[in-house]
Amino acid sequence: MNDDAQRGIGRELDRLSVLSQDDNGMISREDGRLLKLLAETRGARSAIEIGCGVGFSTLHLACGLLRTGGRLAGWEGVETKARDCREAVARAGLGGVVTVRQEDFLDAELAPDQRYDLVFLDAMKTDTLLYFDRLMPLLETGGLIIAHDALGGENVKMRDYLDMLKGHPCLDTVFVSSEYRVGAQAHRGGAGMAVSRKTSPELDDVKSWGRRRAAAEIAARREPGTAARMRHWPELEYVDDYGGRGVLLVVPPAPSKDELLLLCRALLETRPRDASVNIHVYDEPDAAANRDNFHYPAGEYFDHLVAQIFRHPRLDRDEIRYFPEGVTLLLEKPETDPVSPSARYGRSPHASPAAGAAA
Ligand SMILES: C[S@@+](CC[C@H](N)C(=O)[O-])C[C@H]1O[C@@H](n2cnc3c(N)ncnc32)[C@H](O)[C@@H]1O
């Protein structure tokens, strides 16, 4: 890359970085530098990004691809953002590297013979597992799949994706987060990324492996208990700009299936029918607290992850992956929306000050 090209890209990144990071959901500069580095060191030739926004991450990826001679196919659902992203790409002189499609990625027709060697996921967090299921079979062995917001507060909305990574036999994963110091104070340099490398194509033919098989793949190690009191509380709750909601709950040990079903129904009844909801239920605070710790023994973790509850506008029925029996239960959605969609819970004795409700 010559100096002029480098300067053009740098100017465009400077321009974007003064826009509101919150309004545009942009990744941090440090996470962007890592994306560029990963594209370069992987020698990526064919990358795909879901959720380009106004182009901040797109430019970083494209910068790496400029060095490898690769191409990036980007998806952005919102028209104004897709336009802004294309303009940013053009101003940075990266039009030959990037194409941006304005479309909901879940509606996109993907050529079955298309292959990617780098996938970057940064769109609806509650849908991350759906994107994964579409793209994993198209990812080359040795290729990278990178999910953003793996360590920020938002990660509660993609807990099912992060838990799937813990159990997937064809992926090697690390969580990456950067910190910097100003004086004695440490600051996080970004929302963190789960960087996974595909080690084998073994499960490529299994349709929707992540969503459909997650429950079945996790060993049922425990006898379902009885008569637990179903007091429950949110350890963490996160609602995004689109109303997508992630909730992490800790319940008393070993709830029975009936109790859990009652709880699920009660939780889902408070949400609109077409909402995106991702609720994770643990029956042991330690397992919940170690959810992002890849060194925590997976057996212990999954022993205490009781269920994942999933509602999605595209699904006709609600899904409960009930781990003690390794089954996915399907529930009819209610016919109408609740009068008041707001949910209220008691407070947790385990809640740390940082683990309150976040909006
Ligand atoms: C967190 S922002 C992306 C920020 C961007 N990666 C950056 O760093 O500048 C998420 C973006 O994903 C888009 N999005 C959400 N769901 C989508 C989908 N199903 N298909 C395409 N884009 C989607 C949103 O419109 C939003 O602009």
* Residue 68, amino acid: T
The values of phi and psi at residue 136, to 5°, are: -55, -45
346 pLDDT more than 80: no
Neighbours of 83 (CB within 10 A): 14
Indicate whether residue 32 lines ligand 1 (CB < 6 A).
no
Residues near 352 by beta carbon (within 8 Å), at least 6 away in sequence? none
| Lowest mean per-residue pLDDT among 12-21, 118-127, 283-292 | 12-21
Mean predicted lDDT score pLDDT of the chain: 81
Residues near 211 by beta carbon (within 8 Å), at least 6 away in sequence? 129, 130, 133, 160, 310, 319
Indicate whether residue 51 lines ligand 1 (CB < 6 A).
yes
Q: Comparing 219 with 31, which gets the higher pLDDT?
A: 31
What mean pLDDT is predicted for residues 64-74? Answer: 96
User: Rounded to the nearest whole angstrom, what is the distance from the C-alpha of residue 228 to the centroid of ligand 1?
Assistant: 41
Indicate whether residue 78 lines ligand 1 (CB < 6 A).
yes
Range with the largest mean pLDDT of 74-78, 205-209, 240-244: 74-78
- Look-up of token digits 């879940």: 106
Query: What residue segments make up the domains of the chain, in order of their start?
Result: 3-217, 233-358
What is the residue with the minimal CA distance to atom 26 of ligand 1? 53
For helices 29-42 and 56-68, what crossing angle results, to 10°? Answer: 30
Which pLDDT band, with edges at 50, 70 and 90, does 315 fall under? confident
Neighbours of 200 (CB within 10 A): 11
User: Rounded to the nearest whole angstrom, what is the distance from the C-alpha of residue 75 to the centroid of ligand 1?
Assistant: 8
What CA–CA distance (Å, rounded) separates 158 from 130?
11
User: Rounded to the nearest whole angstrom, what is the distance from the C-alpha of residue 323 to the centroid of ligand 1?
Assistant: 31
The values of phi and psi at residue 323, to 5°, are: -70, -35
CATH class of the domain at 3-217: alpha beta
Helices assigned H by DSSP within the chain: 3-17, 21-24, 29-42, 56-68, 79-91, 128-135, 159-167, 209-217, 257-269, 285-289, 298-304
What mean pLDDT is predicted for residues 159-175? Answer: 89
User: Rounded to the nearest whole angstrom, what is the distance from the C-alpha of residue 2 to the centroid of ligand 1?
Assistant: 30
What mean pLDDT is predicted for residues 134-143? Answer: 97
Over the stretch 190-204, which tens digit does the pLDDT of each residue have? 788 999 999 999 988
Q: Ligand 1: which of 49, 50, 128 to mutate, judged by most atoms within 8 Å of the beta carbon?
A: 50
Can you tell me whether residue 17 is helix, strand or coil? helix
pLDDT for res 262: 80
Structure tokens at 299: 């057996």
Residue 186 φ/ψ region, left for φ over 0, alpha for ψ in the -120 to 50 degree band, beta for the rest: beta
pLDDT for res 1: 66
What is the residue with the minimal CA distance to atom 8 of ligand 1? 26
N-to-C CA span, the chain = 42
126 pLDDT more than 50: yes
What CA–CA distance (Å, rounded) separates 306 from 291?
13
Quote the percentage of the chain above a pLDDT of 70.
Answer: 84
pLDDT for res 75: 98
Q: Ligand 1: which of 52, 80, 128 to mutate, judged by most atoms within 8 Å of the beta carbon?
A: 52
User: Rounded to the nearest whole angstrom, what is the distance from the C-alpha of residue 51 to the centroid of ligand 1?
Assistant: 3
pLDDT for res 141: 98
User: Rounded to the nearest whole angstrom, what is the distance from the C-alpha of residue 81 to the centroid of ligand 1?
Assistant: 9
Q: Comparing 357 with 204, which gets the higher pLDDT?
A: 204
**pTM for the structure as a whole:** 0.77
* Residue 161, amino acid: Y
Q: Which of 290, 311, 292, 283 is nearest to 162 (CA)?
A: 292
pLDDT for res 234: 54
pLDDT for res 187: 72
pLDDT for res 62: 96
102 pLDDT more than 90: yes
What mean pLDDT is predicted for residues 261-272? Answer: 78
- Residue 151's alpha-carbon distances to 3, 159, 169, in angstroms, are 35, 10, 22
pLDDT for res 182: 75
Which pLDDT band, with edges at 50, 70 and 90, does 269 fall under? confident
Q: Comparing 240 with 169, which gets the higher pLDDT?
A: 169
Q: Ligand 1: which of 124, 127, 314 to mutate, judged by most atoms within 8 Å of the beta carbon?
A: 124
Which pLDDT band, with edges at 50, 70 and 90, does 119 fall under? very high
Over the stretch 213-239, which tens digit does the pLDDT of each residue have? 443 333 333 333 332 333 444 556 777
What mean pLDDT is predicted for residues 333-344? Answer: 59
